[in-house]
Structure 1
Amino acid sequence: MRYLTLILSLFCWQFSFAQTFTYPKLNTQGTDIRAFTPANWKVIDTAFGDLNNDKVEDLVFVLEFNNPIIEKRAYGDGETELIKEFQKPRILAVYFKNARSNNYKFAMQNNNFILRSQEGGELGEPFKNLTIENNSLNLAFEGGSNWRWKLNYQFKYQNKDWVLTQANNIYYNITSGEMTDKLYDFVNKKMKLTSGNIFARNNLNDVSEETLYYAQLRTLNNFKKPWTWEITKDNFL
């Protein structure tokens, strides 16, 4: 009876918490990352570098909530396939640094794009890292089991938006090495396709190039999360 009461209490706590959870609105400015970390959240990755081409190092970080909640996460086309999951929410945040005041100023908060800790399949944690290189924000993910996938995204700050300029989707078998590697250049609307063996990338692999067709570039505002953009028939990024 005592165990049943404990289980019921835990269920009620989860239901109540899920009903009341809302994402925090991050502070607009501050001198360091502590000023932007809300109560009950923790920083799981950080990167510094110039994102708006002003020769000053900006700040990017990923936050994770301390407790799991029930979230509806998009799969497939991002509209018709929504799956409820009990997991810890995450936030991607960007702050531009002001050279004169030495303060960081809010630039962007995204509550959806960073994969959660349970979205990597049998491999476990899918979020690998974030980096800033050549004025670009880079996000890396990996998951699967015997067949694994790697997703790398490059976003650039253009016209006050975060535009997806490049991406890389690798699908491979860890035993045989069988591989498909798709490198996307969204600025020039090209995709380089490499197929063969991941253990012999420079030998006997087939390489081809295709033209991409789409109306407009995707951004962090209209790209829900990884695996939800069907670029071509049954080809998701």
Structure 2
Amino acid sequence: MKLFVGFLFSALVVTSYGQEFSYPVMRTKGQEITDFVPQGWLIHDSAVGDLNKDGLPDAALILQHKTLVTQIHEGSEIKSQPRILAILVKSGATGGFELKEQSNTFIPEDQDLENDDEELNDPFLRIEITRGLLELVFQESYKTSTNYSAGTEYKFRYNGQDFQLIGADFTRIHRMDFEREQYSYNFLMKKRIYSKGKIGGKTTSSPAKSFALPALKTLKTLKAPNEWEIEPDVTL
């Protein structure tokens, strides 16, 4: 049995929105970042940096619904606040911003906010723009009931049309013995490196392993974190 099944529960909640919750259609242009925040939403997190190599500061926003949305999952009510990933590119001509990507599925929300004793910690960890790459980091850590925690980091590059996934890391940690293993993928080179060791101790890495990849995945084709089984027991 797999130790980690990704954010399956979160994906089920998102799927259920089809009948009960409607995401807003965001405006495509605005002078300020706040112009892109729909009514009833707020900026949960954000990052600023140059995504298209024009020297101007672009922005990526994690928007969160202000109020709780109630969903029914396996007969139980689950309360959460839906999230949106919005990526804005600054225009040199107008000084404003243009919306280049809106994903209603890639940022999992904190689950069951009114009964959080035994649920996942908030899966979203951070967003950054570093060296022209959009980086999104998630964690899968239960407060109880498992000896493992896991984390996934994604690196996206903007090619003028899509945000392509060019790299990703999957890390798994045993909570009892602090053993750590990591799978690091370079999708441009089609190589993967596996490393293992104790936290704070010696780490050993295997030689780079080649893998087949017909085409780079994008934010549109990947859709949600931890749903792509790239190899046995590893999901991105």
Say yes or no: TM over 0.5.
Answer: yes
Quick check: 1:133 aligned with 2:146? no
Query: What is the CA-CA distance between 1:86 and the residue it aligns to?
Result: 4.4
Query: What is the CA-CA distance between 1:179 and the residue it aligns to?
Result: 1.5
Q: Distance in 2 between matches of 1:205 and 1:155?
A: 27
Q: Which residue of 1 aligns with 2:99?
A: 106
Q: Which residue of 2 aligns with 1:222?
A: 221
Q: Distance in 2 between matches of 1:169 and 1:69?
A: 30
Query: What is the CA-CA distance between 1:187 and the residue it aligns to?
Result: 0.4
Q: Which residue of 2 aligns with 1:93?
A: 86
Contact 1:50/1:58 (CA < 8 Å) preserved in 2?
yes
CA deviations over 1:128-175 (Å, ceiling 9, x no partner): 111101111000111224411111100011151110000011000233
SS at match of 2:35: helix
**Compared CA separation, residues 71 and 90, structure 1 to 2 (3 A):** farther
SS at match of 2:219: coil
Query: What is the CA-CA distance between 1:206 and the residue it aligns to?
Result: 4.3
Structure 2 counterparts to residues 15-94 of structure 1, below 5 A: 19=19, 21-69=21-69, 86-94=79-87
Q: Distance in 2 between matches of 1:72 and 1:104?
A: 37
**Compared CA separation, residues 71 and 138, structure 1 to 2 (3 A):** farther
> Which stretch shows the higher mean deviation, 91-100 or 113-122?
113-122
Equivalent AA in structure 2 for residue 134 of structure 1: R
- Structure 2: give runs of 5+ residues left out of the alignment: 1-16
Contact 1:122/1:143 (CA < 8 Å) preserved in 2?
no
**Compared CA separation, residues 118 and 69, structure 1 to 2 (3 A):** same
Equivalent AA in structure 2 for residue 129 of structure 1: R
Q: Distance in 2 between matches of 1:39 and 1:204?
A: 49
Q: Distance in 2 between matches of 1:96 and 1:72?
A: 37
Query: What is the CA-CA distance between 1:27 and the residue it aligns to?
Result: 1.1
Quick check: 1:196 aligned with 2:197? yes
> Which stretch shows the higher mean deviation, 122-131 or 156-165?
122-131
Q: Distance in 1 between matches of 2:223 and 2:85?
A: 13
SS at match of 1:113: coil
Query: What is the CA-CA distance between 1:221 and the residue it aligns to?
Result: 0.5
Contact 1:141/1:150 (CA < 8 Å) preserved in 2?
yes
SS at match of 2:200: helix
Equivalent AA in structure 2 for residue 141 of structure 1: F
CA deviations over 1:12-64 (Å, ceiling 9, x no partner): xxxxx984521111111112122111111111001111001111110110101
Give the fraction of aligned pairs with identical amino acids, expressed as a percent.
30
Q: Distance in 2 between matches of 1:157 and 1:150?
A: 23
SS at match of 1:199: coil
Contact 2:48/2:57 (CA < 8 Å) preserved in 1?
yes
* Count of residues in correspondence between the two structures: 209
**Compared CA separation, residues 137 and 71, structure 1 to 2 (3 A):** farther
Equivalent AA in structure 1 for residue 135 of structure 2: N
**Compared CA separation, residues 123 and 228, structure 1 to 2 (3 A):** closer
Q: Distance in 2 between matches of 1:72 and 1:226?
A: 22
Rg: which structure is higher? 1
SS at match of 2:208: strand
Query: What is the CA-CA distance between 1:85 and the residue it aligns to?
Result: 5.7
- Structure 1: give runs of 5+ residues left out of the alignment: 1-16, 74-83
Q: Greater RCO between the two (CA within 8 Å, min separation 6)?
A: 2
Q: Which residue of 1 aligns with 2:235?
A: 236
Q: Distance in 2 between matches of 1:62 and 1:32?
A: 15
**Compared CA separation, residues 69 and 36, structure 1 to 2 (3 A):** same
SS at match of 1:205: strand
